[in-house]
Structure 1
Amino acid sequence: MHRLIMLAALLLVGAAPAAAAPAAMPPVLTLRERATLHDRLLADRLDTIVPKLMREQGIDMWVLVAREYVEDPVVMTMLDAENLHARRRTILVFFDPGAGKPVERLTVSRYGLAGLFQPAWNPEAEPDQWKALAKLIAARDPKRIAINSSALSQFADGLTLSQFEGLSAALPPAMRARFVRTDELAVGWLEARTPAEMKVYPQLLQVTHAIIAEALSNKVITPGKTTANDVRWWMREKVSSLGMTVWFHPSLSIFRKGQAAALQEDAVIQPGDMLWTDFGITYLGLNSDVQQLGYVLKPGERDAPKGLRDGLAAANRVQDALTSSYRVGLTGNQVLAAARAKAIAAGLTPSIYSHPIGFHGHGAGSSIGFWDNQNADPRGERPIRPNTAWSIELNAKARVPEWDNQEIEFRQEENAFFDGASVRYLDGRQTAFHLIGPAK
């Protein structure tokens, strides 16, 4: 009953709640409940986001073509919960007739995709799928036909060469001249988050944080016995037991006094170690991407050494420099420069490499720095848009007096939402270490 009440609440479209401190593991929906919610969220997106984007860009038709197992990244996010892949060749068509009329959603395929698209092909009447598409386009006579082909964004480059050739061959030269290669529709669709989605997204982060908290505890770690790989695989198993998936294999590194490089894999966790994890899961089509820190207490210790605590606080201050620098219309490169200037002026040593998140862990939109490039980059030239979700990923370097002034990267990553005015964390952020007690 509790789960059904929660599902009903999630289906309501409304403003996202304010971010809260990390919560305990919320109830996880069954696969069937997830499917219902997935399709409701998708219908809302199709009704609201696509028409807005097409009209902003002056596009009256958008054609997406995908083949089974070689799907356009956009098409994969437009399939209903029971269609896990394109069927043979799936063609989606959006057409804006203008005059304030609703945007048509058509599919030149055998299936209507849970009623989200109107089937527009009868193979018995016209066996050639490309000819059926050509007739549909000719009947509507669009002035600008958007296709997903891009040299810059992989998310807007889903139309393969063979499918472009098939589409082109089916149309007369005059109609082919109306093709518009644009990133704006694909990237705009993928990066935009709706109010309904933002009622769900914080729960994904609650699950993520709860798993990390358990992984970095004595429930999982026995100092002197447990290895980094033991923890990584425990996290994979935990996610699988919840009927979810990870979108990358979890990372766990051990930072130790006197060790120049982080220890990994079969290294055994010991008292006095600082632990770093990078972990992300997929739920309801959305992704999380979180990095947090733990500390293994030595006998008699009640907290991490002050130098480590100060390092985490420095990373929090870099987060503040970044999140306070978001402005609608600024590019990712401009946000990066502003945030770095603030952090450096405050005496910090920052490295910022943040990115959009949503349907993909490393999502569509403007990048804000890279770990190997803290200068302007072509991938950071897209303006920041409101109603987008972000992985606030960065580190601050600091020297730890208790570790003989050893310089350590204090890495942090938390997921947040930019509403156009401010950035807020979806489920809070880490400000204190996860503490693992000594072996009993």
Structure 2
Amino acid sequence: MRHVLAAAAALVATPAFAAPIGMSETEQAAPAVPPILSARERAETENRILAERLDTVIPAIMRAEGIDLWLLVAREYFEEPVVASMLDGENMHARRRTILIFHDPGEGKPVERLTVSRYGLGGLFMPAWDPAKQPDQWQAAADIIALRNPAKIAVNVSDLHQFADGMTVSQYDKFTAVLPSALRSRIVSGEGLAIRWLETRTPSEMALYPTIERTAHAVIAEAFSRKVITPGVTTAEQVQWWYRDRLLQLGLDAWFHPSIGIQRQGVKGMLEGPEVIQPGDLLWTDFGITYLRLNTDTQHLAYVLKPGETDAPTGLRQGLANSNKVQDALLRQFAVGRSGNEALARARAEAQAAGLDPSIYSHPIGLHGHGAGPSIGFWDNQNADPRGEAAIHANTAWSIELTSYAAVPEWGGQRVDFRAEENAFFDGKSVRFIDGRQTSLTLIP
């Protein structure tokens, strides 16, 4: 029995991907699904990364934003985005009311991490409330803040960014009612802190991201194969639900319902739902998973070969090549301090000067699929947008999402939509794809 227990313990202690996949500019055509971590391994990995983020990201962003105290509030089953990202692998929800306080005492001293709640949070925050001594939780928080006398008290309120708008009216009223009047004028928006916390990717996260991306790419490769699609039989919606079932088998989550669309010669627009996939169709998929708290967002194209064909028509292959050129134009526009709106305008101008017909709608990715940070265009707005005014920062991950339109000669000059989306990392100098990008159409016999 001792030998069995020892073997089981060794199995639990060894991560399933001890040798992580490195970042690559080349995407594998039909990769295998990497080993999936157990629940315990996932929690241990998430906790390790969260501890690193709290130790390194929090001090950096508080000092960059000039904030010496940050107050976060969440309630059970009503966690605001920032607090939700700070819960350890065993605490899946806030308990009752959870109040977190970050305080930077200055002079190079460590940032205090306090929790004003009845429950600890995996040892990552120091408990700072004894209900037996002070039954009023809000008064306890106010006393902690008053003792530290901060110059600025940041709370998460923002009309523009949902990620930074976690403080509800009821909780704000309770807080300000007990806060000394001299401190109320020091309350400021924590918008910058919330965005920077969520958008920043750490080295440990980026060491994991290629494996997570490879997992998503492998599932897409399965979906775009004869394993799943029988031309003339399989419908678009059957492939959508196959994705969902496959993720259940793997123990993974989709952060949105997968999409499958069909473009067909002689048919305008995108066919979906109960439409049967036929030889000669150009297929499009949009698929994303959440794993180890990181998200993927990928769009690929596939061509269903007609009898006797060995490759897709030249016009379809050129259409994907055009979208790759738009991707290149966008990647060249990433620069620290440049706004999302400026990157959009520059990339569009370069692509149009090359004779392309682009639409760019890229966004940050990471702890959320449509992540915190400046947007670079929207599918329904190719001009400057308030959500794209903020600056691009280093150490951020991006979903390079866009399309280009082209007339396909083999389809009688029909205008076809060549959508592409791959995830990438910006280190402050260059943008690299996390697990490559699609440069050739997937072929389905």
TM-score normalized by the length of structure 2: 0.95
Displacement after TM superposition at 1:324 (Å): 1.0
Which of 165, 169, 179 does residue 161 from structure 1 map onto?
169
Which of 418, 425, 429 does residue 410 from structure 1 map onto?
418
Distance 2:15 2:250 in 1: 20
Match of 2:130 in 1: 122
Q: Are positions 1:26 and 2:34 aligned together?
A: yes
* Contact persistence 2:23–2:435 (CA under 8 A): no
Q: Deviations over 1:155-196 (max 9, x none)?
A: 111100001001101102111111011311000000000000
Match of 2:7 in 1: none
Q: Secondary structure at the match of 2:300?
A: strand
Match of 1:232 in 2: 240
Letter in 1 for 2:217: H
Match of 2:286 in 1: 278
Q: Secondary structure at the match of 2:49?
A: helix
Q: Name stretches of at least 5 consecutive residues in structure 1 with no aligned partner.
A: none
Match of 1:195 in 2: 203
Distance 1:188 1:138 in 2: 26
Q: Deviations over 1:316-357 (max 9, x none)?
A: 000000011111110000000110011001110000000000
Which of 205, 216, 230 does residue 222 from structure 1 map onto?
230
* Contact persistence 1:7–1:33 (CA under 8 A): no
Match of 2:377 in 1: 369
Q: Are positions 1:93 and 2:101 aligned together?
A: yes
Displacement after TM superposition at 1:21 (Å): 2.9
Structure 1 residues 2 and 135: CA distance shift in structure 2, 3 A: closer
Displacement after TM superposition at 1:19 (Å): 4.4
Q: Deviations over 1:353-410 (max 9, x none)?
A: 0000011110000000000111111110000000000000000000111111100110
Distance 2:150 2:190 in 1: 16
Q: Secondary structure at the match of 2:346?
A: helix
Match of 2:338 in 1: 330
Displacement after TM superposition at 1:132 (Å): 0.9
Q: Are positions 1:312 and 2:320 aligned together?
A: yes
* Contact persistence 2:262–2:282 (CA under 8 A): yes
* Contact persistence 1:16–1:198 (CA under 8 A): no
Q: Secondary structure at the match of 1:101?
A: coil
Q: Deviations over 1:60-98 (max 9, x none)?
A: 100001111221110000000111111110000001111
Q: Are positions 1:252 and 2:273 aligned together?
A: no
Displacement after TM superposition at 1:146 (Å): 0.7
Q: Secondary structure at the match of 2:290?
A: strand
Displacement after TM superposition at 1:24 (Å): 2.6
TM-score normalized by the length of structure 1: 0.96
Q: Are positions 1:54 and 2:95 aligned together?
A: no
Letter in 1 for 2:422: E
Counting only pairs closer than 5 Å after superposition, residues 2-81 of structure 1 correspond to structure 2 as 4-6=14-16, 17-22=23-28, 23-81=31-89
How many corresponding residue pairs?
A: 433
Structure 1 residues 89 and 9: CA distance shift in structure 2, 3 A: farther
Q: Are positions 1:107 and 2:119 aligned together?
A: no
Structure 1 residues 3 and 204: CA distance shift in structure 2, 3 A: farther
Structure 1 residues 20 and 400: CA distance shift in structure 2, 3 A: closer
Distance 1:276 1:331 in 2: 30
Distance 2:51 2:274 in 1: 47
Which of 412, 423, 426 does residue 431 from structure 2 map onto?
423
Match of 1:397 in 2: 405
Which of 186, 190, 207 does residue 182 from structure 1 map onto?
190
* Contact persistence 2:26–2:437 (CA under 8 A): no
Q: Secondary structure at the match of 1:78?
A: coil
Letter in 1 for 2:171: Q
Match of 2:364 in 1: 356
Which of 116, 139, 143 does residue 151 from structure 2 map onto?
143
Match of 2:310 in 1: 302
Q: Are positions 1:384 and 2:389 aligned together?
A: no
Displacement after TM superposition at 1:293 (Å): 0.4
Distance 1:2 1:133 in 2: 40
Distance 2:363 2:16 in 1: 30
Distance 1:20 1:134 in 2: 54
Match of 2:3 in 1: none
Counting only pairs closer than 5 Å after superposition, residues 339-350 of structure 1 correspond to structure 2 as 339-350=347-358
Distance 1:122 1:236 in 2: 46
Q: Secondary structure at the match of 1:383?
A: coil
Structure 1 residues 16 and 151: CA distance shift in structure 2, 3 A: farther
Structure 1 residues 211 and 400: CA distance shift in structure 2, 3 A: same
Q: Name stretches of at least 5 consecutive residues in structure 2 with no aligned partner.
A: 1-10
Displacement after TM superposition at 1:110 (Å): 1.4
* Contact persistence 1:256–1:274 (CA under 8 A): yes
Distance 2:153 2:265 in 1: 60
Distance 1:29 1:20 in 2: 25
